[in-house]
Structure 1
Amino acid sequence: MIRTLFSACAVLALASPAIVGPALAQSRYDERPATLQIPTAGMNYTRRIVDIPMRDGVKLHTVILTPSGAIDAAMLLTRTPYNAEKLSRNSNSGDLGTALYGYDNATDVIVDGGYIRVIQDVRGMYGSQGIYMMNPSPAGTKYNPTKTDDSTDAYDTIDWLVKNVKQSNGRVGVIGISYDGYEALTPLIHPHPALKVAVPMNPMVDGWRGDDWFHNGAFRQFGLSYIWEQIASRDVSVPWVASVEDQYDLYLRAGSAGALAKQQGLDQIGFWNKVAAHPAYDDFWQNQAMDTLLAKEPLTVPVMLVHSLWDQEDIYGATAVYRALEPKDANNDMVYLSMGPWHHGQEIADGSHLGAIDWGSDTAKWWRGHVLAPFLAHYLKDQPMDVAPVTAFESGTDEWQRLQAWPAAPATTPLYLQPGGALGFTAASGAATADYVSDPAHPVLYEQRPNAPQGYDNNPWPTWLADDQRAVSTRPDVLTFTGPVLTAPITIAGQPTVHLTASTSGTDSDWVVKLIDVYPDQVPSDRKMGGYQLAVAMDIFRGRYRESLSEAKPIAAGQPLAYQWALPTTNHVFLPGHRIMVQVQSSWFPLYDRNPQRFVPNIMFAKPGDYVKATQQVTVAGPNASYVALPVVK
């Protein structure tokens, strides 16, 4: 008995820890605690992480930031594909304002308002379970046969929040920018009773008509890198890799958008394959357009739509939703519109400048303090509010306006293109055209080379819409029409509409029209602005959709044909001493894919031999003279 016990002890003493006790050895030498306790000293908020169950059992990763001492506080919810953990911890700080500082957080309004901040990863992204679909169609439809969508997920999230966040007053507002702005629209479809207000800022609304993916049928190629990075992995850990710094070279060498997509591996990505298969405005795009969907819904939740007048990414969406919802607002007290002189998302940052343009004050800070803050406080905390149905910044005078409705004027004043590069409010008599040769091998740039990869840090992308158009105005393939020096101001407030009569020697063509404010030759107070050409509204139209947006058709070669489309919303005063200019061109590269100018079934997959030069003729005199109809305020 004694010998047996001694032998057993000896074996244990001599044996290697890796053999007899790996768990014991690991716990002995691991310097990381089994359960980490996060220190809270000095913090003015609590951070709670919850995986909220949806109706189908999928759990969505949610961060809840509650100010210390909060009682009966309202909640502000943002649903995002951009990492809830990061957006709720932009800086490692115990101060809530510092933690929230950054993208998608109107930090001063959120913190000063005492709101409980809730940020959630959408289904299939980062910490959330389930599959990810980009801007999915409503549940149970042709392009989304599942039983859930962003609307149902928002409903289930709000339902959980009001039942489980004890510091709340049971009221929820939704807010977000861009994709997150889209996510602030989806809860308006069958809204939860606790949803009291929505603030979609620069929302993705219609990806074909004029937001991220297309503009009037022309494909925005820079979406390729976004699609890859957003969908290739759940945590956006697989970067878009291209060994060409100048995007002009990258896209031109690849040829078509489809060829570059294949080169970069996007043929593995479901959403890209859908985009490539639906180049026209068919039911795929129509069934997910949020303005169309919301037009069918009753208006029960107050909403403030926020629009940037120089939004380089989603310039179509906010005003499109306003047009869809405003007719339902019988008392003019449910649908609000704010329009500022900003690029995409600049309303939560410094709004003093837009590229070279100095507004003379921080327009974004003013708007947050005088419009956004009281609007949220009114519907979430019953505080009084004095916010006009439309708050619009008027560029030129650089002043904020309080309006009852938008637009302030219809687009009924023709501004005619005239022979000799002239521009005026009467059509020239006789018959004349202005001609140029469009060569896909030498496309017109959307900004000066080198075209840096799209991004936000030290990058010209955010402000390119306000770039000086002199960079291209003297190219032989850009028609430039300039009016006389103004002796009195001309105010426009609405959507200018292009009425272009043109022919092409090809069988397909793109048309780009720009409405430009030309500054005086010298501006003593700001010398860099002397002669500056500021585009106040410009956009592209793909000619194959002249007869129908949903069906591409060849253009009859050599025949003058009528094209009509609306430019983005503008609210601008052309001041005395300035001149009005209109430019016309047929490419806008590399932002938009090149039109081969020979009709092919799908431009995404045009072959090198399909790209041909074309002679373009724009009618500038007679009864069919081309013009831009301006929304002139009388």
Structure 2
Amino acid sequence: MIRTLLAATAIAAIATSLPAQTKPAPQSKAAQAKALKEFDERPAKYVPAVEKYGYIRRVVDIPMRDGVKLHTIIAIPRGAKDVGMLMTRTPYDAESSASDRPGIYASLPGAAATGEDAITASGYIRVFQDVRGMHGSEGQYSMNPAPVGTPFNPTRTDDSTDTYDTIDWLVKNVPESNKRVGIIGISYDGFLSLMPLINPHPALKVAVPMNPMVDGWRGDDWFHNGAFRQTMMGYMLGQEATRDASAEWIQDISDDYDWYLKGGSAGDIAKKQGLEQVGFWRKVAAHPAYDTYWQSQAMDQVLAKQPLKVPVMVVHSLWDQEDIYGGPAVYKALEAKDANNDMVFLTMGPWFHGQGAGDGSALGGVKWSADTALWWRRNVLAPFLAHYLKSDQPAMDVAPVTAFQSGANEWQRLQGWPAAGAAAPAKLYLKPAGGLGFDAATGGAATAQYISDPAAPVGYRARPLPKSDSGNGWRNWLGGDQRMVSGRPDVLVFQTEPLTQAVTVAGVPEVNLNAATTGTDSDWVVKLIDVYPDGRTGDAEMAGYQFGVAMDIFRGRYRESLSEAKPIAANVPLTYRFALPTTNHVFRPGHRIMVQVQSSWFPLYDRNPQTFVPNIMFAKPADYVKATQTVTVGGPDESFVTLPVVR
């Protein structure tokens, strides 16, 4: 009570000390507007001070041929004159790409010595542009839109025409430039670095697509050989639901494994998240097979039909967890047109997706003893760009193919990929009792079995599974330690004895799996693994490590045709043939070669119900059944993996 009286007394004293409130004098509308404007402390439009950037920053909305304006940031080094322009087109916000963050997109002199060391140190004018319909750009947005002239693009524009129009504007309106333009980008931005090659502007002198999205069904972002990458649904929502990519994917369970398992089919999950409102999801759900929708926009197939006019360096990460198919595929398509072997270049680094722009010292727990990405940017990317973008066109000493050979852990300079005559196919046979070797099993027919249960699928990396970039998280999972699943009863494991001499593999391993299932559909996952020596020798942290060298999945319903799903005959041994990702690896003496076989890779890929349904996206709970999987490991139909072995 005493405290209350004291507080009341204090408030009364303060009140009596304040000036008396008076009614404001009447004001005209003009005076009121002026007062309100002065009261608002925020400017109508904030314009960043260019002095803090260290370069001249211009912001332009460049008109396209159909009148749509695309938001563009132009970063010009102070005092620049007669310098080349290097452009990045992106759906990920040009404003943030043109900031002072490190990486291949950095545009500040003196920024962290990562991707920018090969770019801004050379003084290029950097151009960043929002694709139509995203962030600051006008127009309608479509994910990886098909080229003009295909049935799936009814408009007059695509990313090829938009790049052409942008370059045309730049060479006419940036007087500091030498009118030579290059384009570079990673992932989606890598796809945007390929599209201009369809009909390139004469001023486009070079393209560097890094880890590009090329074929979303065969093995990049959306599917791998028909198996749907359901964890990409959150990306679809974020990219398409709003112009500023602010839509949130909401999960009430922290472990992705548990959350997706509880969610049911991909279609069930999409419905719960409101993804059905998004046009790209509806297209993906309507085209689960490799039909004309996917084929018409696969960039390797598109560019195979175009003349080669612009020098290209395709940058591929050997452990790309997002777009591992596209780089080698588009290189193969372009290289076929390079009669003099001087227009198409390839880099294959020991990296995860986009790691060539950052620190390339290690892939998770596997260390390379040097920063491979920094070495590449300084010794390959920098001279390559300078040769094509600088007015004096300095000579470059860049090999047609620059490939990192893991195991030996060294860079190679090659004339082509695969190197002509370097490798010969060798069959690595799956044998009874978990054996593995280059000689076929002795004796008659033999099999190995496991039960695949959709209610307890095999995980693709160690749990818990937030999509984390730390440790052995999302970025590094392809090279992660496969011991996490090698003890499961639903994973078959085959391995050699310790090698007495090195086995070098350079090219594309091919799976020849003979197997039967009690179901009418099935997925098959095959992994080629380097098993490090166990015990107390060498690097103790890597003792017994099962290093994933090349791994992929195949959806069984596409065994006969990728474009048409068909049921699998139950209990009938059938052969499944599919390629694993490109590899360039040395299995060293003392190591073992391992092959693992399983039927799920969850939750990255949606579960196969193992009952044939027209569209797995919309499988019902009753469709998901256990199946006994029987793999042939002896006799005339013995399963094997063909390795491109360097003799």
Give the TM-score normalised by structure 1.
0.95
> Which of 126, 130, 142 is residue 121 of structure 1 equivalent to?
130
Displacement of 1:524? 3.6
SS in 2 for 1:57: coil
Deviations 1:515-543 (A, max 9, x none): 00000013644211000000100000000
Structure 1 Cα separation of the partners of residues 288 and 423 of structure 2: 31
What's 1:251 paired with? 260
What's 1:76 paired with? 86
Structure 2 Cα separation of the partners of residues 474 and 511 of structure 1: 18
> Which of 469, 491, 494 is residue 478 of structure 1 equivalent to?
491
Letter in 1 for 2:640: Y
Q: Which residues of 2 match residues 445-524 of structure 1 at below 5 A?
A: 445-452=459-466, 454-456=467-469, 460-522=473-535, 524=537
Displacement of 1:128? 0.3
Letter in 2 for 1:81: P
Letter in 1 for 2:259: L
Structure 1 Cα separation of the partners of residues 328 and 614 of structure 2: 32
List alignment gaps of at least 5 residues for structure 2: 1-22
Structure 2 Cα separation of the partners of residues 157 and 146 of structure 1: 18
> Which of 52, 57, 60 is residue 62 of structure 2 equivalent to?
52
CA change 1:30–1:547 in 2 (3 A) is same
1:391 aligns with 2:405: no
35-44 vs 279-288, which moves further: 35-44
What's 2:10 paired with? none
Structure 2 Cα separation of the partners of residues 372 and 91 of structure 1: 20
1:444 aligns with 2:458: yes
CA change 1:455–1:52 in 2 (3 A) is farther
> Which of 266, 287, 304 is residue 295 of structure 1 equivalent to?
304
What's 2:637 paired with? 624
Letter in 2 for 1:446: Y
Displacement of 1:459? 7.2
1:30 aligns with 2:44: no
Displacement of 1:411? 6.1
> Which of 424, 446, 459 is residue 432 of structure 1 equivalent to?
446
Displacement of 1:39? 3.4
Q: Verify the 8 A CA contact 2:225 2:555 in the aligned structure 1.
A: yes
Letter in 2 for 1:342: W
> Which of 406, 409, 414 is residue 403 of structure 1 equivalent to?
414
Q: Which residues of 2 match residues 127-166 of structure 1 at below 5 A?
A: 127-166=136-175
Letter in 2 for 1:572: H
Aligned residues: 617
1:590 aligns with 2:590: no
> Which of 321, 326, 343 is residue 352 of structure 2 equivalent to?
343
Structure 1 Cα separation of the partners of residues 124 and 308 of structure 2: 25
> Which of 186, 203, 221 is residue 230 of structure 2 equivalent to?
221
1:552 aligns with 2:565: yes
Deviations 1:424-464 (A, max 9, x none): 11111311001111000000010111111x25467710000
Q: Verify the 8 A CA contact 2:359 2:374 in the aligned structure 1.
A: yes
Deviations 1:299-354 (A, max 9, x none): 11000000000000000000000111111111110010000000000001010011
1:85 aligns with 2:95: yes
Displacement of 1:108? 0.9
Deviations 1:4-61 (A, max 9, x none): xxxxxxxxx9753375633222233333456756434464211000000000000000
CA change 1:626–1:26 in 2 (3 A) is same
Deviations 1:527-586 (A, max 9, x none): 110000001000000000000000000000011101100000000000000000000000
SS in 1 for 2:259: helix
Deviations 1:232-280 (A, max 9, x none): 1000122212121110111100110110000100000000000000000
SS in 1 for 2:117: helix
Structure 2 Cα separation of the partners of residues 343 and 296 of structure 1: 30
1:600 aligns with 2:613: yes
CA change 1:441–1:567 in 2 (3 A) is same
Letter in 2 for 1:48: R
Letter in 2 for 1:392: A
SS in 1 for 2:146: coil
Q: Verify the 8 A CA contact 1:309 1:343 in the aligned structure 2.
A: yes
> Which of 280, 299, 302 is residue 271 of structure 1 equivalent to?
280
Deviations 1:50-94 (A, max 9, x none): 0000000000000000000111110000000000000111459xx
SS in 1 for 2:108: helix
Q: Verify the 8 A CA contact 1:537 1:569 in the aligned structure 2.
A: yes
Displacement of 1:600? 0.3
Deviations 1:568-619 (A, max 9, x none): 0000000000000000000000000000000000000000000000000101
Deviations 1:342-398 (A, max 9, x none): 000000101001100010000000000010000111111201100100000000010
Letter in 1 for 2:534: D
> Which of 278, 281, 286 is residue 290 of structure 2 equivalent to?
281
SS in 2 for 1:21: helix
Letter in 2 for 1:368: R
Q: Verify the 8 A CA contact 1:515 1:535 in the aligned structure 2.
A: yes
1:610 aligns with 2:610: no
What's 2:574 paired with? 561
CA change 1:167–1:451 in 2 (3 A) is same
1:370 aligns with 2:379: yes
Letter in 2 for 1:595: N
Displacement of 1:101? 5.8
Letter in 2 for 1:206: D
Letter in 2 for 1:556: A
> Which of 77, 80, 84 is residue 67 of structure 1 equivalent to?
77
Displacement of 1:628? 0.3
Deviations 1:149-174 (A, max 9, x none): 01100100111111111100010000
Q: Verify the 8 A CA contact 1:597 1:612 in the aligned structure 2.
A: yes
Structure 1 Cα separation of the partners of residues 424 and 200 of structure 2: 35
SS in 2 for 1:462: coil
What's 1:5 paired with? none
> Which of 301, 304, 317 is residue 308 of structure 1 equivalent to?
317
Deviations 1:194-242 (A, max 9, x none): 0000000000000000000000000001110000011110001222121
CA change 1:257–1:523 in 2 (3 A) is farther
Q: Verify the 8 A CA contact 2:109 2:120 in the aligned structure 1.
A: no
Q: Verify the 8 A CA contact 1:496 1:629 in the aligned structure 2.
A: yes
SS in 1 for 2:139: coil
Structure 1 Cα separation of the partners of residues 45 and 272 of structure 2: 46
Displacement of 1:401? 0.3
Structure 2 Cα separation of the partners of residues 331 and 83 of structure 1: 39
Letter in 1 for 2:477: W
286-295 vs 410-419, which moves further: 410-419
1:211 aligns with 2:220: yes
Structure 1 Cα separation of the partners of residues 282 and 416 of structure 2: 40
What's 1:574 paired with? 587
CA change 1:101–1:269 in 2 (3 A) is farther
What's 2:211 paired with? 202
Structure 1 Cα separation of the partners of residues 534 and 376 of structure 2: 32
Structure 2 Cα separation of the partners of residues 182 and 344 of structure 1: 14
Structure 2 Cα separation of the partners of residues 242 and 331 of structure 1: 53
Q: Verify the 8 A CA contact 2:424 2:646 in the aligned structure 1.
A: no
Q: Verify the 8 A CA contact 1:51 1:61 in the aligned structure 2.
A: yes
